[in-house]
A and B are shown apart, each in its own frame.
Chain A
Amino acid sequence: MSVLVDEDTRVVVQGITGGEGNFHTEQMIEYGTNVVAGAVPGKGGQEVAGVPVYDTVEQAAVEEDADASVVFVPPAFAADAIFEALDAPVDVVVAITEGVPVQDMARVKRAEQESDTYLVGPNCPGVITPGEAKLGILPGNIFSSGNVGLVSRSGTLTYQVVDNLTERGIGQSTAIGIGGDPIIGTDFVDALQVFDEDPDTDAIVMCGEIGGEDEEEAAAYIDEHVDTPVVGFIAGRTAPPGKRMGHAGAIVSGSGTGTAESKIDALRDAGVPVGDTPEEVADEVEDLL
């Protein structure tokens, strides 16, 4: 079993005719993902990577029973694309696009909160249920099927941790890259909740980083609600205040909020072991299982 996506998920790709959208659609199909349609305004009737393209997401949802969307459209149009997917509606929207304006995301967030759709991202690598489906740009070959749920704000850090797990023969139920932006759809708490409800996820790894207070909120949530054991990792212990470390959301504010220390302390106080290195995270998971 898994969360959010599986072999039955029917995917529509928004922006399928663009370079990135086209390439990664082929990659997703090659991985075994059930991509059933593309959606690009003005391109209805075409075919890309063997799937039909529609002018609207709603058409793809109606004609092809698409129930999940992956967004590859450029940043200036990404918010509009997400609104369209929320309205179609589909059950899951994975927004890969990097560089969506924050105020656009505040409006998207407002709409998402009133819908039943899970939005993942933006600026994220996507979601993968190993052996079943990947929605996004994650390199499928490093993942293996298993019982560890993984949620992370960073793509390549996810790959690193997965690599350390796979080396020990530990597979993943689902991995969710929630993205490094200040305002995102699915956050740690949402991901922890779905993993905790999944009978086949026996341990959860959460990889956080500096900036914001999502990790602190996640720690409080774990303390009160999560029965599945969780192992944590926090990137950015050496980051200086006031400097944006790549991700728009990864910044320690001048007043000292959003530090790695505060997040690590909050997690440890909630009984979550926090590894100093990705290797240690894998060690902790191995001990738990």
Chain B
Amino acid sequence: MRLHEYQAKQVFADAGIPTPASGLAATVDEAVAAAEEIGYPVAIKAQVHVGGRGKAGGILLADDESEAREAATDILGMDLKGFTVERVLVEEAVDFENELYVGVTMDRGEGKPVAMVSTKGGVNIEEVAEEDPDAIAREHIDPAFGMHPYQARKAVYDAGVDSAVARDVSSVLTTLYQLWDEKDGSDAEINPLMITGDDEVVAADAVLNVDDDALFRHPDLQEMEEEGGFGGDELERKADEYDFDYVRLSGNVGIIGNGAGLVMTTLDLVDHYGGSPANFLDVGGGAKAQRIANALDMVFSDENVDSVVFNIFGGITRGDEVAKGINQALEQFDEIPKPVVVRLAGTNAAEGMEILNEDLVTVEQTLESAVQRAVEYADDVAGEEVDA
């Protein structure tokens, strides 16, 4: 899960990392009131999970009340790369001399956390990593010991941070690592960490992404997730309710399968045979009939979908349960909304084939032939739509 900026800042501030004075607002009046209290100039920042908010117009500066009103009016309710802005953070605009980057993440290749510092803050750090990798000082942390104080200092000095603020930046990095560790972070970042003319350090942005698999031991973060609202579109919300691993794509062949690798392979095959996948949907292991019916409902809800390929290779998933679910989902329709191609293999596949109502679906024996058939159907439907 990803915390919103205002939530991450609260967590950072509670841990002692300096952050600018700020207030959260859901209406223009609330935003103006917050700005008046903080004092101008202020930055008004959209609270949505979108990278590059500033460039997209989601962050505006205001020097007085009328500008604050105008900025809040522009940002609240705006559509930012598919997300509607419901809240803004109104924040003291920091007058800075320098911008640093500090972050902690898991280096999966090494299997170890890595702390990072760069004097090239304020820009997309992934671009810096690619174009000028030496501009980022990296210190791997032994997870058995945690970060030693010297490691924080070393990263800061290696990055070439000005010695006047090195101590304070080390302290911020140490706290950031502790938070990352304590909260089961996947990424914790401050970009930029601003250095003012008086050599004060201030976290002008805050990122804290948390491992979903560890949320069970962080009730406080679960609450923040609920309060922050669900970010995705309607279909992703639905997938969340049904508890599916679902990713919406732009094509017209709906895809349902079991197991991430096999579902990805099915997507790739759709592409290989000249079609275009509409989604990734993994029903997971051991799905029962109702879950299978939910998956079909999910894919039928996507108006871009022209045909569906159902590819199940049963290990702990049983073919008879899958067939029951498909029948259950399709028998409620007078007319099947979109052609469905089914391929069943593995555990109880033969039993499943017997149960499956072949008046409602097209059955194929192999993965390749099932995908080809679904692509043909999708082409036919898309063709008819063009004719009509």
By a beta-carbon cutoff of 8 Å, the part of chain A in contact with chain B is 75-76, 99-107, 109-111, 125, 137-139, 142, 152-160, 163, 180, 182-183, 207, 209-210, 212-214, 217, 233, 235-240, 243-250, 253-255, 260, 276-279
Residue of A76, A160, A240, A255 with highest tally of chain B CB at under 10 A: A160
Also in contact, A102 and B247, with CB within 8 A (given A107-B144, A209-B261, A276-B272) = no
17 A/B residue pairs, CB under 8 Å, sorted by A: A100-B213, A101-B214, A103-B143, A104-B214, A110-B111, A154-B260, A156-B261, A159-B345, A183-B111, A209-B261, A212-B109, A238-B264, A238-B268, A245-B263, A255-B129, A260-B268, A277-B367
**Residues of A close to B257: CB separation below 8 A:** 156
CA distance A139 to B259 in the complex (A): 14
Also in contact, A277 and B313, with CB within 8 A (given A212-B108, A212-B109) = no
CA distance A237 to B277 in the complex (A): 12
| Contact across chains for B213 and A106 when beta carbons are under 8 A apart | no
CA distance A249 to B186 in the complex (A): 12
**Residues of A close to B170: CB separation below 8 A:** none
| Contact across chains for B313 and A213 when beta carbons are under 8 A apart | no
| Contact across chains for A246 and B211 when beta carbons are under 8 A apart | no
CA distance A239 to B277 in the complex (A): 10
| Contact across chains for A237 and B106 when beta carbons are under 8 A apart | no
**Residues of A close to B111: CB separation below 8 A:** 105-106, 109-110, 183
**Residues of A close to B345: CB separation below 8 A:** 159-160, 163
Q: Does B265 contact A (CB under 8 A)?
A: yes
| Contact across chains for A182 and B108 when beta carbons are under 8 A apart | yes
> Which residue on A lies nearest to B260, using beta carbons?
A246
Also in contact, A245 and B260, with CB within 8 A (given A102-B214, A106-B143, A160-B367) = yes
> Which residue on B lies nearest to A216, using beta carbons?
B109
Q: Does B314 contact A (CB under 8 A)?
A: yes
Also in contact, A209 and B106, with CB within 8 A (given A106-B143, A255-B126) = no
CA distance A203 to B352 in the complex (A): 34
**Residues of B close to A255: CB separation below 8 A:** 126-127, 129-130
| Contact across chains for A139 and B214 when beta carbons are under 8 A apart | no
Also in contact, A154 and B262, with CB within 8 A (given A103-B184, A159-B315) = yes
**Residues of A close to B108: CB separation below 8 A:** 182-183, 212, 249
> Which residue on A lies nearest to B106, using beta carbons?
A102
| Contact across chains for A237 and B271 when beta carbons are under 8 A apart | yes
CA distance A158 to B211 in the complex (A): 27
Q: How far is the CB of A186 from chain B (nearest CB, A)?
A: 12
Q: How far is the CB of A62 from chain B (nearest CB, A)?
A: 27
**Residues of A close to B112: CB separation below 8 A:** 106, 109-110
Q: How far is the CB of B145 from chain A (nearest CB, A)?
A: 9
Q: Which of B109, B261, B267, B270 contacts A207 (CB 8 A)?
A: B261
| Contact across chains for B143 and A153 when beta carbons are under 8 A apart | no
**Residues of B close to A163: CB separation below 8 A:** 313, 345-346
CA distance A139 to B313 in the complex (A): 10
Q: Which of B144, B267, B268, B272 contacts A110 (CB 8 A)?
A: B144
CA distance A214 to B108 in the complex (A): 9
Q: How far is the CB of B114 from chain A (nearest CB, A)?
A: 11
**Residues of A close to B367: CB separation below 8 A:** 160, 277-279
| Contact across chains for B247 and A243 when beta carbons are under 8 A apart | yes
**B238-252 interface bits toward A, Cβ cutoff 8 Å, 1 = contact, 0 = none:** 000000010101000
> Which residue on A lies nearest to B269, using beta carbons?
A277
Also in contact, A156 and B271, with CB within 8 A (given A137-B316, A183-B108, A255-B129) = no
**Residues of B close to A125: CB separation below 8 A:** 315
Q: Does B181 contact A (CB under 8 A)?
A: yes
CA distance A29 to B345 in the complex (A): 23
**B275-288 interface bits toward A, Cβ cutoff 8 Å, 1 = contact, 0 = none:** 00100101001000
Apart from A103-B184, A107-B144, list 10 A-B contacts with CB within 8 A: A110-B112, A139-B346, A154-B259, A155-B259, A156-B259, A159-B315, A238-B277, A247-B260, A277-B367, A278-B265
| Contact across chains for A101 and B262 when beta carbons are under 8 A apart | no
Q: Does B380 contact A (CB under 8 A)?
A: no
CA distance A196 to B298 in the complex (A): 45
**Residues of A close to B82: CB separation below 8 A:** none
CA distance A183 to B105 in the complex (A): 13
> Which residue on A lies nearest to B130, using beta carbons?
A255
| Contact across chains for A76 and B262 when beta carbons are under 8 A apart | no
**B204-235 interface bits toward A, Cβ cutoff 8 Å, 1 = contact, 0 = none:** 00000001111011000000000000000000
Q: How far is the CB of B49 from chain A (nearest CB, A)?
A: 11
| Contact across chains for B260 and A209 when beta carbons are under 8 A apart | yes
Q: How far is the CB of A221 from chain B (nearest CB, A)?
A: 14
| Contact across chains for A156 and B213 when beta carbons are under 8 A apart | no
Q: Which of B213, B265, B268 contacts A102 (CB 8 A)?
A: B213
Also in contact, A254 and B126, with CB within 8 A (given A137-B315, A183-B111) = yes
CA distance A254 to B111 in the complex (A): 20
Residue of A138, A182, A213 with highest tally of chain B CB at under 10 A: A182
Q: Which of B280, B347, B368 contacts A279 (CB 8 A)?
A: B368
> Which residue on A lies nearest to B111, using beta carbons?
A109
Q: How far is the CB of A192 from chain B (nearest CB, A)?
A: 17
**Residues of A close to B127: CB separation below 8 A:** 255
**B102-118 interface bits toward A, Cβ cutoff 8 Å, 1 = contact, 0 = none:** 00001011011100000
CA distance A246 to B260 in the complex (A): 5
CA distance A210 to B261 in the complex (A): 9
> Which residue on B lies nearest to A240, using beta carbons?
B249
CA distance A240 to B347 in the complex (A): 31
**Residues of B close to A247: CB separation below 8 A:** 260-261
Q: Does B383 contact A (CB under 8 A)?
A: no
Q: Which of A156, A217, A244, A248 contacts B313 (CB 8 A)?
A: A156
CA distance A279 to B268 in the complex (A): 13
CA distance A158 to B346 in the complex (A): 12
**B47-64 interface bits toward A, Cβ cutoff 8 Å, 1 = contact, 0 = none:** 000010000000000000
> Which residue on B lies nearest to A207, using beta carbons?
B261
Q: How far is the CB of A265 from chain B (nearest CB, A)?
A: 16
CA distance A130 to B366 in the complex (A): 23
| Contact across chains for A152 and B214 when beta carbons are under 8 A apart | no
